[in-house]
Structure 1
Amino acid sequence: MLSDTIKAIILGIVEGVTEFLPVSSTGHLLLVQHIFGLDGSGFWNTFNVLIQLGAILAILVIYFERLWRIALNMFSDPAAQRFVIGVLIAFLPAVAMGLLFGHWIKEKLFDPWVVCFSLIVGGAVLLWIDRLDLKPRFHDATTFSLPMYLGIGIAQCAAMIPGVSRSGASIVSAMLFGADKRSAAEFSFFLAIPTMVAAFAYDFYKNRAEMNTDHLAIVAIGFVVSFITAIIVVRTFLNFVTRNGFAFFAWWRVTVGVLGLIALALGK
């Protein structure tokens, strides 16, 4: 049997590797939890949400200078104001969906079978988008139109289904709206900041009574591991997709989904 510390390290690595790739971090975490026999564990489900903040901290570190400049100019520069408004517009649909359907989704859809099917379908979508002859009109994530920000935010709501991928939904929709691969990926990073901070705050507040010293130590381990792993992945991902597209991640999704279905079927 693996200790809780080892499980936290493995889950932290999985979170850091998959959070900003279009492969679904939630889906991968749920499948690894299933392998560990942690299905239905209230603490470990909360753990998955809490360690996402480590991945978000990686984005803040990598893009600190750019984000700091936007923050300083937010009240004097119309372009900075417009970007901040755009991120908020893109963030609001997920808030509404989470408040209205979050409990039902966690109760009904957080299932390994759903994850595997979603991974396969999402992989097919990535292959499709990668083969389209798109003509990008936007090359900077801070210059998208306001309707485009809203459209990306609405598309992101599909990622509430585990296995769909928040970053994948954001990237695919941004590209269909006219963004190039790099700016689409970067905006998915920026949109993750308010989305995941809100999810962290909500889950931590809701489950604060269950947290003891041992739980906090396990979360801290997963947080640090996900932070370090995410920094490495994000720095590599942008250059990779700019040169090679999303086919690798599409086949990754399909492979994991198919293997997961086989394992689930044999497990029965």
Structure 2
Amino acid sequence: MLDIFKAIILGIIEGITEFLPISSTGHLYLADYFIKLNQPKSFINMFMVVIQLGAILSVILIYFNKLNPFAPSKSHQEKEATWQLWLKVIIAVLPSVIIGLPLNDWLDKNMTTWQVIAATLIIYGILFIILENYYKKRTPSLTKLNKLSYRIAFFIGCFQVLSLIPGTSRSGATIMGAMLLGTSRFVSTEFSFFLAIPTMLGASVLKLGKYFMIGNAFVGNQLAVLLVGMIVSFLVAYISIKFLLRYVRSHDFKAFGWYRIILGILVIIIGSIFA
């Protein structure tokens, strides 16, 4: 029963932090010191993948009609625009596939340390504040998603590669990159959500496949723990996405920058004491 409660807490953390530019990895790393599941390490790693899947499903639900090229309510022109959007997303995913696939295991093993997570939290927090100071002096050149070019999509994908380093935040890297390339906060945020679908689904399927290929199976309450964590993550992520979409219409990302800096300092303190 205690593991079910912990799964709820971890699902809430994942749901809140996955799509906000504050690093779900950093938060889950801290949570691991205080809310450790009473399960084997291999299962805990798989649990983190499953709650991430829950968060992805919330994006799919929110944008199902917008991303569905077969929707009967869409005109031929709208269906064509949807296919073009998917092509842009696929182009944006390519840098992460090319670089991430061969380096993924090495990065997980060697870069998931409190020092790396703290550094990336603080560095990108400072960069967000600097970016917003620069951004407020400029008018974004791209304010509609359908105007986003294939070239810009590819370069946004290049920024996503930075998020392979733990603590960076996938949404943070892509939003920051898109804004630097001239897109509005809202377009940057939406495209970041779309880019999450193939990126996170692909990574999740790969890790789940490895888990079962080496002979792992569910025992005891593990299936219940997975389902609870996934459902909670899905529900909370749904709320977080809706919140961020409203927030960026009238606010900047400075608050998230300051939050990252504070969290990075907290990681240093806790890592120094407990690691």
1:218 to 213, 225, 246: 225
Who is 1:188 aligned against? 192
SS at match of 1:20: coil
Who is 2:144 aligned against? 140
Who is 1:169 aligned against? 173
Q: Pick which of 77-86 and 187-196 moved more.
A: 77-86
Q: Mind listing any 5+ residue stretches in structure 1 that lack a counterpart?
A: none
Please tell me the residue identity of whatever aligns with 1:154.
C
TM-superposed CA distance for 1:71, in Å, is 6.4
In 1, the alpha carbon distance for the partners of 2:148 and 2:51 equals 30
In 1, the alpha carbon distance for the partners of 2:32 and 2:273 equals 18
Label 1:15 to 1:253 Cα distance change in 2 as closer, same or farther (>3 A): same
Please tell me the residue identity of whatever aligns with 1:207.
Y
Query: Equivalences for 1:105-144 in 2 at 5 Å?
Result: 105-132=107-134, 133-144=137-148
Q: Mind listing any 5+ residue stretches in structure 2 that lack a counterpart?
A: none
In 1, the alpha carbon distance for the partners of 2:29 and 2:40 equals 10
Contact 2:8 2:229 in 1 (8 A): yes
TM-score (norm 1): 0.92
Please tell me the residue identity of whatever aligns with 1:256.
L
In 2, the alpha carbon distance for the partners of 1:105 and 1:136 equals 34
Please tell me the residue identity of whatever aligns with 2:12.
I
Please tell me the residue identity of whatever aligns with 1:10.
I
TM-superposed CA distance for 1:80, in Å, is 2.8
In 1, the alpha carbon distance for the partners of 2:236 and 2:113 equals 26
Who is 2:158 aligned against? 154
Q: Pick which of 44-53 and 218-227 moved more.
A: 44-53
Who is 1:17 aligned against? 16
Deviations 1:180-203 (A, max 9, x none): 000100000000000111111111
In 2, the alpha carbon distance for the partners of 1:177 and 1:152 equals 8
TM-superposed CA distance for 1:165, in Å, is 0.3
In 1, the alpha carbon distance for the partners of 2:75 and 2:261 equals 42
In 2, the alpha carbon distance for the partners of 1:144 and 1:188 equals 13
TM-superposed CA distance for 1:37, in Å, is 4.8
In 2, the alpha carbon distance for the partners of 1:234 and 1:37 equals 27
The question of 1:5 aligning with 2:4 is answered: yes
SS at match of 1:139: coil
Deviations 1:42-76 (A, max 9, x none): 22122112211111111111112211257677997
2:244 to 193, 218, 237: 237
Contact 1:126 1:246 in 2 (8 A): yes
Please tell me the residue identity of whatever aligns with 2:191.
F
TM-superposed CA distance for 1:176, in Å, is 0.8
Label 1:28 to 1:219 Cα distance change in 2 as closer, same or farther (>3 A): same
Label 1:232 to 1:147 Cα distance change in 2 as closer, same or farther (>3 A): same
Query: Equivalences for 1:59-98 in 2 at 5 Å?
Result: 59-69=59-69, 77-98=79-100
TM-score (norm 2): 0.90
Contact 2:121 2:263 in 1 (8 A): yes
Contact 2:142 2:184 in 1 (8 A): yes
Who is 2:57 aligned against? 57
Contact 2:107 2:165 in 1 (8 A): yes
Contact 2:107 2:164 in 1 (8 A): yes
Please tell me the residue identity of whatever aligns with 2:253.
F
Label 1:134 to 1:201 Cα distance change in 2 as closer, same or farther (>3 A): same
Label 1:6 to 1:79 Cα distance change in 2 as closer, same or farther (>3 A): same
In 1, the alpha carbon distance for the partners of 2:264 and 2:274 equals 15
Q: How many residues align?
A: 267
Q: Pick which of 90-99 and 103-112 moved more.
A: 90-99
Query: Equivalences for 1:35-50 in 2 at 5 Å?
Result: 35-37=34-36, 41-50=41-50
